[in-house]
């Protein structure tokens, strides 16, 4: 799942064939490349779905890759990590990690979830 696709920067990641790609944004006002993304997705055999929604109000989705690129505020980023982070099966990627709100939210979320993360099967060695 990708939040805030805008000009399509999050599309650079190539999903495996026969996968589902869900992008969510509060508006399609800045989504200028939707048609191109739909064509590329079809060529790659990727089911592509764009949702206009408040990601915090929609039903949370499990994903292999969670990409967060929304308001870059502490409150929004932490709320998105709390809502979708536990459902991310493999990776979490955040845009503008050096922005104070994003940086602080990530460290707060990691601090709040360190025990659960350490006990995850992938962390056992």
Q: What are the residues facing 5 on neighbouring strands?
A: none
Q: Helices 74-84 and 100-119, interaxial angle, to 10°?
A: 20
pTM: 0.76
Nearest CA to 67 out of 95, 86, 30 is that of 95
Neighbouring residues of 8: CB distance < 8 A, sequence distance ≥ 6: 33, 36, 37
Q: What is the pLDDT of residue 16?
A: 62
Q: What is the pLDDT of residue 19?
A: 77
Nearest CA to 21 out of 39, 55, 44, 47 is that of 47
pLDDT in tens, 38-87: 999 899 888 999 999 999 999 998 999 999 999 999 999 999 999 999 99
**Rg from Cα positions in the chain:** 15
Q: What is the pLDDT of residue 108?
A: 97
* Domain limits, the chain: 2-123
- Contact yes or no for 26/32 (Cβ under 8 A): no
pLDDT in tens, 4-47: 544 444 545 565 656 788 999 998 888 888 899 899 989 988 89
């Amino acid at each position: 799942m990708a939040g805030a696709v805008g000009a399509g920067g999050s599309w650079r990641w190539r999903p495996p064939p026969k996968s589902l790609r869900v992008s969510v944004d509060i508006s399609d006002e800045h989504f200028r490349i939707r048609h191109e993304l739909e064509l590329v997705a079809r060529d790659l055999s990727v089911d592509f779905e764009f949702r206009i929604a408040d990601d915090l109000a929609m039903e949370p989705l499990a994903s292999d890759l969670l990409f967060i690129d929304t308001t870059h505020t502490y409150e929004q980023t932490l709320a998105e990590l709390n809502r979708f982070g536990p459902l991310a099966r493999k990776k979490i990627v955040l845009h503008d990690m050096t922005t104070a709100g994003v940086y602080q939210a990530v460290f707060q979320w990691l601090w709040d979830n360190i025990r659960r993360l350490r006990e995850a099967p992938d962390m056992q060695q």
